[in-house]
Structure 1
């Protein structure tokens, strides 16, 4: 059975820049059995109710601006998975979620950047699942739990976001990519790691109240919620392993976790 993963996708420049997180993702495909399909819950697709994408073609969405031209020439177009999307949507409906299908949307950079590095051949069918950032952590843990049966079918469930994500700090100036990590980022990340390894779901879904500097590290929640989707998809009592940890620009933690 495949694990579920949480990946920090960072800046879209990770597709081009030599960083520890990029090196990790480039080796990720070799660490896992080959999936039959990949489902990515991405922080960059926010909707009112859960949506799965099933376009005729997985076009590459360059959902960012102000980056070098080379980044906009990158494309990642794996096969789509319309039958799987329909089946997952039905499973979500049976679990009480008003899920739908989007037949036009391709892959945003929360999906295509990490997958371009991990599975560059673009041969494995990929579909995305949206997040509902107004509904919080416990909701997304339950959403992930409804996806758990997919793992036994060879579907790799991936939550793609960021372990910390306060982009407001760029307004103060652009630190070096390898600048030392700030103490608040360390405190938050250490707390999350401790609770994840302990399997303390009750504390984790209440992270906004319990974790140090939670609101500072995630002024909005969309980039952490994919973690809960992956955690939920692994099921109760699943083993937790941190696959990678690094920091970029002093405040972006690029941690990755394996569940199950």
Structure 2
């Protein structure tokens, strides 16, 4: 269990400006790798939202995305200009391995990300060789299928807990006013010990946990969310390990101190993978 630590929110950085309306932050559940070719209800919902975002923000500069499938001793930031698509899984249909997501990298944006993290007192270094793992490219295939939006992936430190992931997102909050989508890609529930494949009715614990999280988010109850391991029903069963839940806190940190959630999906796949995905805008 991760300790609940005080959350230090960095002051607004020089990159933020009131001249540009900030993009929302985003949390997306990326499910199993098969989500790339078995889109369910969530894939089209993400595509529709991505289209609307491009219409609302035609000058979208790029995406900064954190995935639990890149974990490192400390924060790392993708610096490559043309990251490869990594099929970091095994035992799936050949069609899945034929997929490529050739979105460009964004070395200049990566430099801004590194600068913001370091300005917030967080140790971070660049990585020019890192490819896109499926926690990044699978949901991005649905969000931006043309692969024409530059992407910078960020690593999750192996020792991070909710407060640390929140602080990482908070450090990058100002980028949202600079045409950058800051996203956490994880899973609302992720107990792969219970994965059986095929269509199944959602397990009751999945719904109980997911709706507790939704209620806490809608109440903007950050202390309860940070303490979810003790307070949420079935937290241990929903997340035997918590790396797939931590991107939620990255998105919350990027969203600001008061947010309003707009759910894009509450689908449950295979009876145990909650695909909850939602945007986080400033509360009005």
- TM above 0.5, yes or no, is yes
Decide whether the 8 Å contact of 1:52 with 1:129 is kept in 2. Answer: yes
Q: CA deviation at 1:256?
A: 0.5
- Correspondence for 1:85 among 104, 107, 110: 110
Q: Which residue matches 1:38?
A: 63
Unmatched 5+ stretches in structure 1 = none
Q: Secondary structure at the match of 2:117?
A: helix
Q: Secondary structure at the match of 2:243?
A: coil
Decide whether the 8 Å contact of 2:42 with 2:264 is kept in 1. Answer: no
TM-score, length-scaled by structure 1: 0.95
Q: Which residue matches 2:18?
A: none
1:90-239 paired onto structure 2 within 5 Å:
90-170=115-195, 174-177=196-199, 179-239=200-260
Q: CA deviation at 1:133?
A: 4.2
TM-score, length-scaled by structure 2: 0.87
Aligned pair count reads 256
Q: CA deviation at 1:25?
A: 2.1
Decide whether the 8 Å contact of 2:25 with 2:279 is kept in 1. Answer: yes
Q: CA deviation at 1:167?
A: 0.2
Unmatched 5+ stretches in structure 2 = 1-21
Decide whether the 8 Å contact of 1:133 with 1:221 is kept in 2. Answer: no
Q: Give per-residue Cα distances to partners, 1:124-145, cap 9 Å, x unaligned.
A: 1101011124221011111110
Decide whether the 8 Å contact of 2:162 with 2:226 is kept in 1. Answer: yes
Decide whether the 8 Å contact of 1:36 with 1:125 is kept in 2. Answer: yes
Separation (CA, whole Å) in 2 of partners of 1:190 and 1:124: 32
Q: CA deviation at 1:184?
A: 1.0
Q: CA deviation at 1:175?
A: 4.4
Q: CA deviation at 1:10?
A: 0.8
Q: CA deviation at 1:224?
A: 0.7
Q: Give per-residue Cα distances to partners, 1:2-28, cap 9 Å, x unaligned.
A: 000000011111111141112222222
